[in-house]
A = this chain, B = another copy of it.
Amino acid sequence: MFSGAHVALYPMTDRFVPVILDGIAAMKHDRNHLRIETDDLSTLLVGPPEDLFPAMRDLLVGAARSGTHVVLSAHVSRGCPGEPDDPACHSAELAGGLAPASERIEAARAAVAAARSTGQSIAAQIALHPLGTAGHMDEIGHCIAFLRESGVHDRAKHFCTKLGGDAGPVFAAMAEAFVRFGDPAGHVTMTLTASANSPTGG
């Protein structure tokens, strides 16, 4: 399995470079577990989902501490058949087959409830893409059912679901959506946007 995320941080300030560096400094601990490649468009993080989402959370929260309006945008992928198998991406979260949806929803809710708060409020939206299967809308439906009960649901939007709350449980909910919905051995991607300190709320 190969898994990773293309991540970009957009601070809406002339001082965008130091704000990004603050975010990277906050992600220091997470970096030990990830392979990282940067170019002018995004930073690729390679590693298992259980390391990717905390790293993205720490990156955004670290950058937001300045009070600047900052957005993190990411494209997360697992199980792409076109990518090489990488032992560094082995995930305990993706072992076994698909449990019944009700069990997965319950486990995902419990994980969000146990998530540590960060003190940083964010707004976010996500879309999940379980690929290579005719039953993708069923899995998207189960994922939405979980998000509605996750405690960080804001509202349904066209093509995506909006979340809001402390960055801790919101990133936990996004991680749970990514690992528990769609076949654990399948090809699944997620598009996510998370915003802090927006002047228009969120």
- Which residues of A approach B to under 8 Å, CB–CB? 2, 4, 6, 8, 10-14, 16-17, 39-42, 44, 46, 69, 71, 73, 75, 77, 80-83, 123-125, 127, 129-134, 136-137, 140, 157-160, 162, 187, 189, 191, 193, 195, 198-202
Contacts and interface: CB of A to CB of B under 8 A. Distances in A.
Contact of A189 (B71, B127, B134, B195): B127
B193 A16 contact: no
A159 B189 CA distance: 9
A133 B187 CA distance: 12
A41 B192 CA distance: 11
Query: 4 closest pairs, A vs B, by CB?
Result: A10-B10, A40-B202, A12-B16, A40-B200
A97 B117 CA distance: 50
29 contacts: A2-B158, A4-B159, A6-B157, A6-B159, A12-B12, A12-B13, A12-B14, A12-B16, A14-B14, A40-B195, A41-B198, A41-B202, A44-B158, A73-B73, A73-B193, A75-B127, A75-B159, A75-B160, A75-B191, A77-B127, A77-B158, A82-B140, A83-B159, A127-B189, A131-B136, A132-B136, A132-B137, A133-B134, A134-B134
Contacts of A133: 132, 134
Nearest to A134: B132
B202 A125 contact: no
A124 B8 CA distance: 13
B193 A42 contact: yes
Most buried by B among A83, A130, A160: A160
B44 A157 contact: yes
A118 B140 CA distance: 39
A120 to B, nearest CB: 16
A1 B124 CA distance: 27
A73 B194 CA distance: 12
